[in-house]
Amino acid sequence: MNHALPGEDLIEAGLRDLREGRESIAGLLVAIGSPRLRRLGLDLPADLPSNPEHRLYHLLAKDNSDSAHSRYNAYIRRLVSYERAAECVSR
C-alpha cells in the first residue's frame, strides 16, 4: 500500500481487524468498500460481515446515537476518498 493516500491508516486497521475476526468501525468500513477495494488489488478475507452498513451504523449509535448519522457519513467519505486516490495512483 501507498502510505501517502488519505485514509490509508483506517483501511489498514480495517484489514487487520477483519483478518483477526474483530468487528470494528474500520473493519466494517472495509467490508462496505470491499468490491471496489478488491478491484484495486487489496487482499480481503473471503468471509466478510453481512450487512456491514447496518452494523457500522449500530456500532456508531452505541457510542453516541445523536451523532451516529454524521459520523457514519464522515467514515463513508473517508472510504471514498481513499478509493478515489488509490484509483488515481493505479492509473
Entry pTM? 0.91
Q: How many domains does the chain have?
A: 1
Q: Is the pLDDT of residue 2 over 60?
A: no
Q: Is the pLDDT of residue 46 over 60?
A: yes
Quick check: is 3 in a domain? no
Quick check: is 2 in a domain? no
Q: What is the mean pLDDT of residues 37-66?
A: 95
- pLDDT band at 91, cuts 50/70/90? confident
**Closest to 53 in 3D by CA, of 66, 40, 72, 70:** 72
**Which cell numbers in the block locate residue 37?**
477495494
**Which cell numbers in the block locate residue 7?**
485514509
Can you give the residue range of the structural domain that contains 25?
A: 8-90
Specify whether the backbone of 37 is left (phi greater than 0), alpha (psi in -120 to 50) or beta: alpha
Quick check: is 78 in a domain? yes
Quick check: is 16 in a domain? yes
Q: Is the pLDDT of residue 86 over 90?
A: yes
